[in-house]
Amino acid sequence: MSAPIQDFYTWTHRQAKLLRESRFSELDLNTLAEEIEDMGNRQYDQLESRFELLFSHLLKWLCQPAFRGASWRLTIQEQRRKIPKHLRKNPGLKSSLAEIMADAYEDARNSAADETGLPLEIFPTQCPWTGEQALDAEFWPD
C-alpha cells in the first residue's frame, strides 16, 4: 500500500509530467491506478446523484400535487437535460444503468419522505417509472 499523498495537487502534476516524459519507472503506479478508478467512480456517483434528484422530485410531484411549483419543475427539467448528456459523455455507464437507477430510487424515496414529512410507505417501494418515462420532457406523473 502506498503512503498517503500529502500534497495531491503537486503529486498529480508530477505524475502527469512523468507520463508525458515516458518516465514510467518513476510513476507511483498503485496510487495512480487507484486515482484513475476513483475518477471513473465519480462519474458513476454523479449519474446516480442526478437520478436520485430526479426521482425524489418526481415522487414529491406525484404525492404532493398541492405543492407543485416552479422549483420542482425546474429541477426535474434540469436533470432530464443533464442525465442524457452525462450518458453521452460516459457511454460505459449504460451497462450499469439498471443498478444506478435502482440505487438512486431507493435513496430518492428516503429523501422524498424526509423532505416532505410524509411516511416512507406513501412512496412506491419500486420505481413506478421506466427510465424513458422519467427522462421524457412531456411526462409528468399524476
pLDDT in tens, 58-94: 999 999 999 999 999 999 999 999 999 999 999 999 9
Position 4 scores a pLDDT of: 77
**DSSP per-residue letters across 38-78:** HHHHHHHHHHHHHHHHHHHHHHHHHH-GGG--HHHHHHHHH
pLDDT greater than 80 at residue 52:
yes
pLDDT greater than 80 at residue 7:
yes
Q: What letter represents residue 97's amino acid?
A: L
Half-sphere exposure of 76 (CA within 13 A, CB side): 23
Position 3 scores a pLDDT of: 67
Question: DSSP secondary-structure letter at 125?
Answer: S
pLDDT greater than 90 at residue 131:
yes
pLDDT-derived band at 42 (thresholds 50, 70, 90) equals very high
For the chain, give the mean pLDDT. Answer: 96
Cα–Cα separations (whole angstroms), residue 2 to 9, 12, 29, 32, 37: 17, 15, 9, 10, 15
